[in-house]
Amino acid sequence: MSVWPSPAVPRPLQQLFDRVPLLTYDANVLPARSQSATSSRLPTLYVFSTDSDARLGAPSYNPGCLKWQTFLKLARVEFQIVPATNHASPTGALPFLLPARPSPSASASASASPAPAPVSSARLQKYALEHGQHKPAEQTPTLRLDAYQALLDVPIRNAWLQALYLEPRHAALLDRLYVAPASSSRWVQATLRHQLRRAAEAEILKTSSSAGGSASATPILVDESAMYAGARDALDALADLLAESETDWFFGAPSPSLFDASVFAYTHLMRRLLDGGADGEGEDLKIPARLGALVRAAGTGELERHQSRLLEMLWPGESLSGR
């Protein structure tokens, strides 16, 4: 690191600079909190999770994070997960992956080397293919794939946002997953809750208004039942697609692909978090926000079986109700 920006340091001065400091001790030890953040030699995937789930590598409770967590596991990348918030991310959204630091020499501490550049979710597929021990089946981009991907990105995602973020009956769940971990202060929690809900609304309106072509300036009342009906149709379509496949996986692939991971991210979390059971709602299928019930009812149970298969494959021993 040069002291002077452009003019070269005169030689005698440079010789003086080279001679100091006269004594260099070993590096300071990092604080307790960062000891755990820097002690691992594994790449770290930053996801929404809890401390205890992260330690076990359990599935994240955020669909976007779970998709990539699943895919990295499919590609047999060795990694650890760390609970984080969007603030930790270079793009403002989770997940992202911090590659392992270049292996330091035995004596120097790991903290001496600069932190590696983070890998955002957009580049995770490439990373997984380069670093994984197994190449998951790859789908060539086709219109058909795009059409099914769009089912996940619009109707299924919107129903997920509506059910978890905006549905009053799931307010406690939303608090437990996204609000309470951020801060114990009610004031902070109330602000965050409000921000989360506004963001979810905006996301829903972004896709539904472009579909309907209505002016975005006026707030549109979202038709909830139409949204859940859209999700049901989309899940049915995915179940039919899976039924057509000769293998257990989408598009007849020999092994699960990124698309399987994307579907699993929603179906697993819908069944795990939004299936009534836990909230003691019984078997009342009429409650539209029970997306888990829609997953079970889709087709002839293809999606439910697909979800169980992937869960058993990647997280053996993990059950829907947690551990």
Structure tokens at 223: 């038709």
For residue 270, which of 240, 296, 244 has the smallest C-alpha distance?
Answer: 296
The interface region with another protein, picked from 183-191, 205-213, 238-246, 277-285 by CB under 8 A, is 183-191
Name which position in 5, 12, 32, 133 contacts another protein (CB under 8 A): 32
Q: Is 98 in the site for another protein (CB under 8 A)?
A: yes
Spacing of C-alpha 125 from chain mean position: 13
- Among 5, 12, 22, 140, the residue binding another protein under the rule CB under 8 A is 22
* Nearest distance in Å: CB 174, another protein: 16
Under the binding rule (CB under 8 A), the answer on residue 90 touching another protein is yes
- Quickly list DSSP for 70-119: HHHHHTT---EEEE--GGGSSSSSS-EEEPPPPPPPSSS-GGGSPPPPPE
- 96-98 β-sheet, strand order: 80-83, 44-47, 96-98, 119-120
Q: Which is nearer to another protein, 24 or 133 (CB)?
A: 24
Of 50, 58, 64, 88, the one binding another protein by CB under 8 A: 88
8 binds another protein (CB under 8 A): no
Interacting stretch for another protein, rule CB under 8 A, among 14-22, 63-71, 204-212, 254-262? 14-22
Give me 269's structure tokens.
Answer: 């979390």
Closest CA to 248 of 237, 264, 236: 264
From candidates 147, 150, 172, 188, binder to another protein by CB under 8 A: 188
Q: Which residues contact 3 (CB under 8 A, 6 or more apart)?
A: 9, 17
Cβ atoms 89, 96 nearer than 8 A: yes
180 near another protein (CB under 8 A): no
**Size of the residue set binding another protein (CB under 8 A):** 60
Residue 190 within binding range of another protein, rule CB under 8 A: no
Distance CA 275, CA 310 (A): 19
Which residues of the chain form contacts with another protein (CB under 8 A)?
3-4, 9, 13, 16-17, 20-42, 44, 46, 51, 54-55, 80, 82, 84-85, 87-90, 98, 108-109, 111-115, 117-118, 182-185, 187-188, 191-192
